[in-house]
Amino acid sequence: MDNKAISPDPAPAALLLEWYDGHARDLPWRVKPGARPDPYRVWLSEVMLQQTTTAAVTPYFAKFVARWPTVEALAAAPEAEVMAAWAGLGYYSRARNLVACAREVAARGGFPDSEGELRKLPGLGPYTAAAIAAIAFGRRAVVVDANVERVVARLRAIEEPLPGARKAIRAATDAITPESRAGDFAQAMMDLGATICTARDAKCLLCPLASLCRGRATGDPLRLPVKAAKKARPRRTGTAFWIEQDGAVWLVTRAGRGMLGGMRALPDDGWSARADGHGDPPLGGRWQAGGVVRHTFSHFDLELGVAIYAGDAVADISGGEWWPVERLEAAGLPTLFAKAAQLVLAR
């Protein structure tokens, strides 16, 4: 599809905003159509929603704003506490960037209101910066997430497979983004993709853009956007080590960068996205098999065996901390290691 052939078209925005005024989703970070939300809540929700569902984010968002109601409060929080509160939400680099961004915003005296300045903040890529600029500050910005991508690919019948089609999809989105109510328009597009024009269904009879949709006119809108064939996911293996003594389990803090960086975890044998684990146990002595947990990361699958220490009392171990087993939920273990702990504790 030739981007130069895409000319501004105000009709989709007018139809969509009229629909949004009566059908906007009620979400804890949202305000009513036409109102201006708190930039902190917009930013926090958009960071949490990256590659994560609304249903998964909602309880975390509520927990965060109750504990840290302002960006200044979050900026003052110890990083370890924020990482623990984030546990289970995945993509843990977002939590580290969240703290770094909050501290920079607090030092600035508030969020910048332009897309360009927002891009300079830690952890804010093109989509997040555009979404905050539009939703929190009413700036005209082209906001394209997975829902918008699908809606526009169908609306304009963009046949090129993803990811190559993204340039054409962005150009087509730009052509229908209005100067006013850009934030409401962006959220309306997201809502349309989440509730009407979904990946598995196209409820065209309910869609406010049905009369303009070229994908619907083809008779098979569900085939759009066209996706390239998926590559086989690599499978990795590793081992986590459970060392328990006097009602406490030995936890380590993972390196700040890399998989699950900065999180408390069980010690392991050094598995990574690129290689199976091969390291030695943290202690000599007897170990017994405790079962296997399986976990899916964004780019690979992991089979993690759990080895339980069955040797003598531990007298010489360093580089971690003893954590009471009865308070293990408060440690903020990532989902992978929480699964491993549940496996052991269920024995």
Dihedral sign computed on CA atoms, order 278, 279, 281, 285 = positive
Q: Where are the alpha helices (DSSP H) in 119-204?
A: 126-137, 146-155, 166-176, 182-195
Give the span between the Cα atoms of 119 and 140, in whole angstroms: 15
Cβ pair 83, 100 in contact under 8 A: no
Residue with tokens 């009413």: 138
Cβ pair 84, 332 in contact under 8 A: yes
Give the span between the Cα atoms of 251 and 313, in whole angstroms: 16
Nearest Cα residue to 129 out of 307, 22, 120:
120
Q: Delimit the domains of the chain by residue range.
A: 3-223, 235-345
Per-residue model confidence (pLDDT) at position 6: 59
Cβ pair 218, 226 in contact under 8 A: no
* Within this chain, domains 3-223 and 235-345 share the same CATH topology: no
Distances (CA, A) of 176 to 64, 142, 145, 151: 35, 9, 15, 12
pLDDT tens sequence across 139-165: 999 999 999 999 999 999 999 999 999
pLDDT tens sequence across 185-205: 999 999 999 999 999 999 999
Residue with tokens 């918008």: 148
Per-residue model confidence (pLDDT) at position 2: 41
Per-residue model confidence (pLDDT) at position 256: 79
* Count of H-run helices and E-run strands, the chain: 13, 7
Is the model more confident about 292 or about 91? 292
Nearest Cα residue to 81 out of 237, 213, 257, 263:
263
Band (pLDDT 50/70/90 cuts) for residue 3 is: very low
What percent of the chain has a predicted confidence (pLDDT) above 70?
A: 98
CATH of domain 3-223: 1.10.340.30
pLDDT tens sequence across 325-334: 999 999 999 9
pLDDT tens sequence across 112-142: 999 999 999 999 999 999 999 999 999 999 9
The arithmetic mean of pLDDT across residues 95-117, rounded, is 96
Per-residue model confidence (pLDDT) at position 75: 98
Give the span between the Cα atoms of 133 and 122, in whole angstroms: 15
pLDDT at position 251 over 80: yes
* Residue 46 among the catalytic residues: yes
Is the model more confident about 46 or about 232? 46
Give the span between the Cα atoms of 75 and 7, in whole angstroms: 44
Per-residue model confidence (pLDDT) at position 130: 97
Q: Among residues 46, 72, 179, 329, which one is catalytic?
A: 46
Nearest Cα residue to 209 out of 144, 146, 150, 121:
150
pLDDT tens sequence across 21-72: 999 999 999 999 999 999 999 999 999 999 899 999 999 999 999 999 999 9
Per-residue model confidence (pLDDT) at position 167: 97
CATH of domain 235-345: 3.90.79.10
pLDDT at position 4 over 50: no
